[in-house]
């Protein structure tokens, strides 16, 4: 719960994939919460060796494990919105 002094703990929030909108409620996090990952919008591999950077929330996207793997196989690793536009609009599950 949020005590008014800062952000609510992650366990108190619903988690939703920023690509496919898959979401879980706080009560389901114990079992299903491990299916979400933080995606670096600027991949570590693209940083120059020895260069440090300060991490901020805007450097990350919350993705489900499936979308996280898929975005790394696309040409849009740093652009979740473009990834969604190019790949999710034509997905058909049978």
Distances (CA, A) of 94 to 20, 23, 61, 91: 16, 21, 28, 10
The reported pTM is 0.72
pLDDT tens-digit profile of 77-92? 999 999 999 887 776 6
Look at residue 1 and tell me whether its pLDDT is greater than 80. Answer: no
Distance CA 42, CA 47 (A): 8
Output 75 or 90, whichever has higher pLDDT: 75
Contact 67, 16 (CB under 8 A): no
Residue spans of the domains in the chain: they are 13-47+54-90
């Amino acid at each position: 719960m949020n005590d008014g002094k800062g952000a609510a703990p992650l366990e108190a929030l619903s988690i939703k994939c920023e690509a496919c909108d898959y979401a879980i409620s706080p009560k389901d996090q114990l079992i299903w919460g491990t299916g979400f990952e933080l995606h670096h919008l600027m991949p570590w591999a693209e940083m120059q060796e020895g260069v440090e950077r300060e991490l901020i929330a805007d450097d990350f996207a919350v993705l489900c494990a499936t979308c996280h793997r898929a975005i790394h196989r696309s040409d849009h690793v740093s652009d979740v919105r473009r990834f969604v536009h190019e790949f999710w609009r034509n997905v058909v599950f049978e």
